[in-house]
A and B are shown apart, each in its own frame.
Chain A
């Protein structure tokens, strides 16, 4: 048996890394700090994960940048985190939309659809803290060697496809970005994509900006212009990922999709996130979240996303009523009818599931 290294001379001996961790990037969540929340507890009092920036893209879509240096170091394209707003909250999986290793932050883009994501929209101001933030979860995207790739993002899926765009660009691939929104007013990150893509096709359902049509139309256009397209990465609502896989299936272009099933722990423990891929059961949290889009059973995925639809409606209605009683006009706005607002509450926030 080999001997370990000589112990440090000073008993406390924390390495620089440890010092950094204590310096408040939020890793150290000591047991005692995890107090029970009550409606009166300000969010600042909870958790150690500070929100350092926020940007509202529309009435329902918002960006949160959270300080967590180690997570920013560890994050890779394709991975996700699980967030709890407060101690009584649920664990919401959110795809990492960006990470900045120098600033020591990660970015998530969230759409307010259910109770939890609406409550996050209200509470998560700059300076507030998340009760829990854990990750990165899931296997990082296998970037492959395709010389030409198309990265397709639909709606909120535009955010999580960005790290893929950047990673493919960094490894020297020719990157075609295809991003789609319902209308110009909901669009975000167009310039950010333009700066990293060799080509960008912006699509809007109503034609208010770019190509009038769905991302699949943009994808058809890209496939026509680039017969040598080696891989397509599609992230968005299941119905959009299924459509993209449908477009590429006949041409046999490798298509990777990022799945967003309902989950609790995100570590393989609950099995709630099981999906059928090529007839085999997989756990999206540890076997994925990236899978071969041509092999995924999207119908099953969409059905499983509705597991908690009734509970979610109940929670949202109850919360909106509570907000109305508390005379909070900004939250009492009627729920915007979201086409295909899928997702049980647990999945409600994660980008690809909710556009």
Chain B
């Protein structure tokens, strides 16, 4: 086979089939419909299989991207899935919600001259194919007698649990809600990440022998210290997330109709408030909804509001479109669906209708001044530029603070912002207790949390004295062959069950 060059590969990126905006704004089905086999084969051909692939380093969990794409090109789809899941347990989730444009696709060599290879779309397609085909990679596990407790079933906890289970630990994941998944479940709406996809990928975790116990609020039902001293866990990972929504402290925030994006999304996604009164949780959506903030959570809140029937949805952000922290794709989708954007606008007061409900928002126009600490140009108020618009619901999507429950109930050292303090190995101040994800770094992305969960799992394995099992799990035939010849003293290793 002649090596591919930038001239010989398909020049255009294979487009993602999507529901039309007028159509999708009335339903909760997925916006992006996913590649068909032909799309995936064609897009795979665009990968140059670089000798020194930069995309792997661009991925927080270091997926062997050229490796799985090579298998797709060769027609070995199951093999491609094996390579992919060697590093990433949740391809159907990550293919949908990772900001690939800032990660693997940003550093893709093809991207230097053409549009980068659509790694995320290929990953999603493969993940969906695996769900459809019922594929799951269940490695042979040799129980090692260690018990690991995971606090939180969000992306960080799931990733950590999977790696520890593969290493032979008995893993129990505790979740406070009635259903597992953390932010994947309560935060990300159905049209971006269907609950059925979360269920399918979490099911793979259960096949690894991981137990998930819902309805369990760690810290209050039992403490981190009790997990080590009474519940018999040898190591604990804390991945509770940052959820503790921020408000601005402007007048009118206690009015009825003001809520956090977390509350709006939890009511809709986890509790299915959109189906009230068949489901019992109400939302009481406004006709005109103003969302403050322009990150991914803000986009989700706006697009959920539109789908639930809001007549007008406004986005209020104090910087300009160029500084918008949401993924480009999410912003574009929100624009297509009819969100009205008020860039360079800072709310100064939520207006009262006289009966304790929201009647509107008073704002100040901003202009961009000198760059601030973050390198972005600082928004500066324009004198005398106050204006109002009518709204009956105001949603805050301006970020979160550290959730205080673990801090309140354990002796773990926190940093000055209340997040859990860890060293570079994600070890906390308590021996055997590790933490990662938003509760350590503050709000970030799903894949960053998964990366942290995996890093913590490596640290926990080192702490427990277990052989590193990540490498062994990768399902290339050479690798599998080598791992079966592992020394007998290395009791704690995972082998690939070749006959699947």
CA distance A11 to B145 in the complex (A): 4
Residue of B nearest to A92 (CB): B280
Residue of B nearest to A115 (CB): B280
The answer on a CB contact under 8 Å between B256 and A304 is yes
Q: Which of A2-10, A217-225, A232-240, A334-342 contacts B (4 or more CB under 8 A)?
A: A2-10
| Residue of A139, A271, A319 touching B260 (CB-CB under 8 A) | A271
Report A157 CB to chain B, min CB distance, Å: 22
Q: Contacts A115-B280, A314-B277 known; A90 to B408 CB distance under 8 Å? A: no
Considering the complex, which residues of chain A in the window 267-286 have a beta carbon less than 8 Å from any beta carbon of chain B?
A: 267-272, 274, 276, 281, 283, 286
Partner of A132, one of B213, B215, B253, B256: B215
Q: Flag if A31 contacts B180 (CB, 8 Å).
A: yes
Complex Cα spacing A136 to B463, Å: 32
- A28–B221 alpha-carbon span in the complex (Å): 13
A266–B432 alpha-carbon span in the complex (Å): 28
> Which of B10-18, B242-250, B295-303, B375-383 is near enough to bind chain A?
B242-250
Give CA–CA (A87, B262) in the complex, Å. Answer: 20
Give chain A residues whose Cβ lies under 8 Å from the Cβ of B282: 90, 308, 311-312, 315, 344-346
Contact of A14 among B186, B232, B260 (CB under 8 A): B232
* B266 and A265 contact, CB distance less than 8 A: yes
A7/B144 in contact, CB under 8 A? yes
Q: Is B28 an interface residue (CB 8 A)?
A: no
Q: Which residue of the partner chain, among B177, B230, B253, B277, contacts A315 with CB atoms under 8 Å?
A: B277
Q: Give the distance to chain B from A297, nearest Cβ to Cβ, in Å.
A: 8
Q: Which residues of A contact B230 (CB under 8 A)?
A: 15, 17
Please tell me if the beta carbons of A270 and B222 are within 8 angstroms of each other in the complex: no
Answer yes or no: A34 CB below 8 A from chain B CBs: yes
A134 close to B (CB within 8 Å): yes
Report how many A-B pairs have Cβ atoms within 8 Å. 205
Please tell me if the beta carbons of B464 and A4 are within 8 angstroms of each other in the complex. yes
Whether the pair B280, A3 counts as a contact (CB closer than 8 A) is: no
For the complex formed, measure the closest distance between the CB of A101 and the CB atoms of chain B, giving whole angstroms: 14
User: Is B220 at the interface (CB under 8 A from chain A)?
Assistant: yes
How many residues of chain A are within 8 Å of chain B by beta carbon?
75
Contacts of A268 in B (CB 8 A): 243-244, 403-405
> In the complex where A267-B403, A304-B254 touch, is A4 in contact with B276 (Cβ < 8 A)?
no
Proximity bits, B131-153, A CB within 8 Å = 1, else 0: 00000000000011111000000
Identify A4's interface contact among B170, B221, B234, CB under 8 A.
B234
Indicate with 1 or 0, residue by residue over A276-308, a CB within 8 angstroms of chain B CB atoms. Answer: 100001010011000000000100100110111
The SS class assigned to the B binding surface is loop
Contact B232 A13 (CB under 8 A): yes
- Determine if A307 and B284 form an interchain contact, defined as CB atoms under 8 angstroms apart: yes
Complex interface bits, B151-194 against A, C-beta within 8 A gives 1, otherwise 0:
00000000000000000001000001111100000100000000
A29 and B215 in contact, given A88-B279, A131-B178 (Cβ under 8 angstroms): yes
Q: At the interface, yes or no: B49 with Cβ under 8 Å from chain A?
A: no
B310 in the interface, Cβ–Cβ < 8 Å? no
Which of A84, A269, A297 touches B244 (beta carbons < 8 Å)?
A269
Evaluate contact between A15 and B234: CB separation under 8 angstroms. no
Contacting residues, chain B, for A87 (C-beta < 8 A): 178
Residues of A within 8 A of B214 (CB): 29, 31, 34, 132
Closest to B245 in A: A271
Whether, in the assembled complex, B272 has its beta carbon less than 8 Å from a beta carbon of chain A, the answer is yes
Q: Which residues in chain B, 198-243, are within 8 Å of chain A measured between CB atoms?
A: 202-203, 206, 211-217, 220-222, 230-232, 234-235, 241, 243
> Which residue of the partner chain, among A34, A135, A281, A318, contacts B217 with CB atoms under 8 Å?
A135
Q: B212 contacts A31, CB within 8 Å?
A: yes
A346 to B206, CA, bound (A): 32
For window 94-147 of B, CB contacts with A under 8 Å fall at 143-147
Chain B residues closer than 8 Å to A267, beta-carbon distance: 176, 217, 243, 403, 405
**A-contact bits for B383-403, CB 8 A (1 contact / 0 none):** 000000000000010000001
- What is the chain B residue whose CB lies nearest that of A84? B178
Q: What residues make up the interface of B, taking CB atoms closer than 8 Å to A?
A: 143-147, 170, 176-180, 186, 202-203, 206, 211-217, 220-222, 230-232, 234-235, 241, 243-245, 247, 249, 253-254, 256, 259-260, 262-263, 266-267, 271-272, 276-284, 356, 396, 403-405, 408, 427, 431-432, 462-465
A-B contact pairs, 7 of them (CB 8 A): A12-B143, A17-B230, A132-B178, A137-B217, A267-B403, A274-B254, A345-B282
The 8 A-B residue pairs with the shortest CB-CB distance, nearest first, are A311-B282, A7-B145, A11-B143, A15-B232, A269-B243, A270-B263, A90-B280, A132-B178
